Amino acid sequence: MKVKGISKNRKINYLLPLFVLVLLTIFMTSCNKKAVVEDYRSLRHAEWNQDTALVFDVNIPDPKKLYDLSFTVRNEGHYAYSNLWIFVVITPPSGKELTDTVELTLAKPSGEWLGSGLGDLYDRKYPYKKTIFFPEIGKYTISVRQGMRTKTGILTGIHDFGIVLEKAL
């Protein structure tokens, strides 16, 4: 069978390398991420006790570089709230702590979950600090606790929490 003067097999042979080239380009650009650290903590039974700190260690080799720090959250579709309050403590090698309280919005006022979802789980990345620098060389510790007010102190419906540290553009 001919399609406008080119046989079907020749057309497939012509398009196949083009398709592979496009896929290879997508793969190479997606693998060229600027992430320095991507670290996640799974919460057993999707329960997060307010006394439980999730601790992340970040090694900073060059204090002259700028970074973007983000948080990632994976929540269940039946999570009872539209937000998540967290307490963040960043401890540099010298030990002088920086503390912060942050609200992460997980759903729109209409109740629609933000982020991408698969089944009953929703993932979202939340920018926290943009173009920041870490003034000391060495290990920084980022500690995060949930700050939601529940009767038991246990928050249910959060499956995973993580940090992403990327080189700033």
CATH number at 122 reads 2.60.120.1300
**121 and 94 in a common domain:** yes
**25-74: pLDDT as tens digits:** 444 444 445 778 999 999 999 999 999 999 999 999 888 999 999 999 99
DSSP letter, residue 120: T
Tokens standing for 31?
A: 């693998």
**40 and 26 in a common domain:** no
DSSP letter, residue 77: T
**66 and 4 in a common domain:** no
Residue 34's pLDDT is what?
Answer: 79
Residue of 167 and 24 predicted with greater confidence: 167
Mean residue pLDDT of the chain comes to 86
**72 and 12 in a common domain:** no
**99 and 52 in a common domain:** yes
**133 and 54 in a common domain:** yes
Question: Are residues 132 and 32 in contact, defined by beta-carbon separation less than 8 angstroms?
Answer: no
Judge whether residue 6 has pLDDT over 90.
no
Number of compact structural domains in the chain: 2
- Outline where the chain has alpha helix (H): 8-31
**107 and 161 in a common domain:** yes
Instruction: State the average pLDDT over residues 17-28.
Output: 48
- What's the burial of 87, exposed, middle or buried (CB within 10 Å: 0-12/13-18/19+)? middle
- Look up the domain containing 2 and give its range: 1-32
**Strand-by-strand arrangement of the 35-42 sheet:** 35-42, 158-167, 67-76, 121-132, 116-118
**107 and 138 in a common domain:** yes
